[in-house]
Structure 1
Amino acid sequence: MVECLDKEINRVHVNGTSHQTPTPKTVDAEVEPRKRCLWFEEELEEDLRWVFGVSKILHTGVSEFQNIELVESGPFGKVLILDGKLQSAEADEFVYHESIVHPALLYHSNPKSVFIMGGGEGSTAREALRHRSVERVIMCDIDEEVVEFCRKHLTVNGEAFRSDRLELIINCARAELVKTTEKFDILIGDLADPVEGGPCYKLYTKSFYERVLKPRLKDGGILVTQGGPAGILSHTEVYSSIYNTLRKTFKYVIPYAAHVPSYADTWGWIMASDQPFPKISAEETDSRIKHRIDGELKFLDGEALFASIALNKHVRKSLAAERHVYTEESARFIHGHGTALKN
């Protein structure tokens, strides 16, 4: 007889993130022992949960603004979790970060300056710095503990953090943009999802887009923001509202989306500008990628970009019919709660 792990499990919570530990039971030696001892569980909705195995907890902590976890997972490698929400997974983060950065920079004729709101892990800055025309990237994140932890532990972004073209600012992006007079070719909203009690929902509002961001764009400048889940069943949580809010603020708006396996859903982004987006073929997009970007992209090329923009019929009709405008008073939130509401 030997001790091994059975199906029965007890759930434990580490700083708001649900893990599960096994209950050992005595069984016959012929039964192969289970190797996994922890599970990460994210509650996507009240009756829907996303669970995957965790082999090691690398870090847990609570910053001034949010809970922080870094874990090692079997299917996704290193996974960064903020306020119980999976933010980035080593195995597929390139889908998200190539999507949030490269379309806007490829549509722009000659992007030289980029301002990133959020992006504390450094991956968005990494992708922006791959563009040869870019002379300056400002990454402004409110949470110094997240930034410093990612700088130390996410070695894939080490070169970006060391780049002399990157300026790191620890501050609220809104406060930083309000006080500056500088204008940028590209503004990127790589922000945490809007959750009640979280630090970022005010950066999805019409007043922020209209009064703060538009004045900070150069002529021909492009804003791009992540917009949350954009799947058949999830896009009306916040994505359709953010899209409609940008549509009420800018003359030209392009929503697009791609499946991100570690998010267990399709994810959405939105580009906006007061100048029309050029009509670029898949072949021209591939040519721009070749001549503008250092190294080979893993996810995005001309065909993939066209596919991302070609939203399915159901979501297109829903976005066209959306009338909600995102304000501080009428904010929509995805399921979950920020640290502020837990304290």
Structure 2
Amino acid sequence: MALRHYTLDFNLSAPADCPSTVRGLHSIFQEQEMTETVHDTEGHGYLATFIGKNGRLVILRVHSQGLVTVDLQCCEGDNIAQVDNLLNALEKKLKSLLHGNIRGVKRLPALTRGAAVDRYWPTADGRLVEYDIDRVVYDEDSAYQNIKILHSQQFGNILILNGDVNLAESDLPYTQAIMGRGKENYTGKEVLILGGGDGGILAEAVKLKPKMITMVEISFQDAVCHFPLTHMRKACGSVLDNLKGDCYQVLVEDCVPVLKKYVEEGKTFDYVINDLTAVPISTAPEEDSTWEFLQLILDLSIKVLRPTGKYFTQGNCANLTEALALYEEQLGRLSCPVDFSKEVVCVPSYMELWVFYTVWKK
């Protein structure tokens, strides 16, 4: 079962006259054969619920601060035309009753709750976005995370990890940004990719004729994480069909011990691409272990970077200025002094601007 939830708001210049406003709407609810229940608001305006025989529910609230809200809930299979007619009648009547006192009217499209296909996902800065998702392609728990792949009419298949939109088949701008936006020469170079389990970065990097790419991705220890092979082909192509190719190898390991081993051996790379995690939203590092992990990866990565090499990573949503500023402070605390630049890119399926960093040794 799914529920559709409609909202209609009237912002007023002054508090409404509750008795006359409510009386003026009664005829509409009577025509709909809806039963009224008035609730005690302890002097804070008026609140009533109206329930119809078909299960429709209307919540009418006349706030004492100068706001009138109407919430209508109905089952997904309810007659949309009838529901629209009811909302139209309420909106028209309220405009007449509140004439001269209205600053603004807002009627939102229905929010669908409890549907088999979830279309709502939050942006990094906490805004709710509705996607044009029409089906669930994949939904499983691996040893490390929940993996969902949902199909969007605009963006193709979207990979969602633990509730966060990770990458869609449309998101080549993300991959290009985390590789230097076409400004780097990868020919004959040695590249280290940390994470990148969707295969998008690896697929693009092999096209640039590097000497060798080493990709370290622990999630391939779990067979369930081979989702790119069948569900994200537009992003990864055929590059993950084998864990070794002419110019690449995929190590199914935890990247931290691998990085530490490379530091001990003195092994270095021309490019290190960190696709493990975004900059945490939290601005209290002592309360979020992700910051500690991020600092560790950053420090180890710089140690395996050649003097002329570059380190690429994503930041987070451009609106999260405090978290990004804190990350930039972390760059100044590394064992080796570095400089950095950043670029803001529009990633299609994120529906928000995203920050990417390039870091190099001074």
Q: Is TM-score (shorter-chain normalized) higher than 0.5?
A: yes
> Could you say which residue in structure 2 is the equivalent of 1:137?
213
> Could you say which residue in structure 2 is the equivalent of 1:221?
309
Which residue among 243, 247, 256 is the counterpart of 1:174? 256
How far, CA to CA, are the matches of 2:141 and 2:307 in structure 1?
A: 41
Which residue among 340, 345, 349 is the counterpart of 1:253? 340
Which residue among 265, 288, 294 is the counterpart of 1:204? 294
Which residue among 154, 157, 164 is the counterpart of 2:246? 164
Q: Aligned letter for 1:209? A: L
Q: Secondary structure at the match of 1:167?
A: strand
**Cα deviations across residues 169-191 of structure 1 (Å, max 9, x unaligned)?**
12221121112322111100112
Q: Aligned letter for 1:68? A: I
Give the structure, 1 or 2, with the largest relative contact order (CA under 8 Å, sep 6 or more).
Answer: 1
**Cα deviations across residues 219-256 of structure 1 (Å, max 9, x unaligned)?**
211111111112xx3232x3222223224433321111
> Could you say which residue in structure 2 is the equivalent of 1:87?
166
How far, CA to CA, are the matches of 2:202 and 2:124 in structure 1?
A: 31
May I ask how many residue pairs the two structures share in their alignment?
Answer: 249
Is the alpha carbon distance of 1:177 and 1:45 closer, same or farther for their aligned partners in structure 2, counting shifts above 3 Å?
Answer: closer
In the alignment, structure 1 segments of 5+ residues that lack a partner are: 10-20, 276-343
Q: Secondary structure at the match of 2:183?
A: helix
Is the alpha carbon distance of 1:66 and 1:209 closer, same or farther for their aligned partners in structure 2, counting shifts above 3 Å?
Answer: same
> Could you say which residue in structure 2 is the equivalent of 1:25?
78
Question: TM-score of the superposition, structure 1-length normalised?
Answer: 0.63
Compute the displacement of 1:60 (Å): 0.4
Contact 1:22-1:37 within 8 A present in 2 as well: no
> Could you say which residue in structure 1 is the equivalent of 2:270?
185
Please tell me whether residue 124 in structure 1 is matched to residue 201 in structure 2: yes
Is the alpha carbon distance of 1:124 and 1:186 closer, same or farther for their aligned partners in structure 2, counting shifts above 3 Å?
Answer: same
Which is higher, the Rg of structure 1 or of structure 2?
Answer: 2
Please tell me whether residue 97 in structure 1 is matched to residue 187 in structure 2: no
Over the aligned positions, Cα root-mean-square deviation in angstroms equals 3.3
Compute the displacement of 1:150 (Å): 1.3
> Could you say which residue in structure 1 is the equivalent of 2:144?
65
Q: Aligned letter for 1:155? A: R
How far, CA to CA, are the matches of 2:289 and 2:154 in structure 1?
A: 29
How far, CA to CA, are the matches of 2:344 and 2:297 in structure 1?
A: 23
Please tell me whether residue 269 in structure 1 is matched to residue 356 in structure 2: yes
Is the alpha carbon distance of 1:117 and 1:39 closer, same or farther for their aligned partners in structure 2, counting shifts above 3 Å?
Answer: same
How far, CA to CA, are the matches of 1:98 and 1:22 in structure 2?
A: 44
**Cα deviations across residues 8-41 of structure 1 (Å, max 9, x unaligned)?**
49xxxxxxxxxxx972114669x9xx9x973422
Q: Secondary structure at the match of 1:95?
A: helix
> Could you say which residue in structure 1 is the equivalent of 2:48?
none
Is the alpha carbon distance of 1:27 and 1:266 closer, same or farther for their aligned partners in structure 2, counting shifts above 3 Å?
Answer: closer
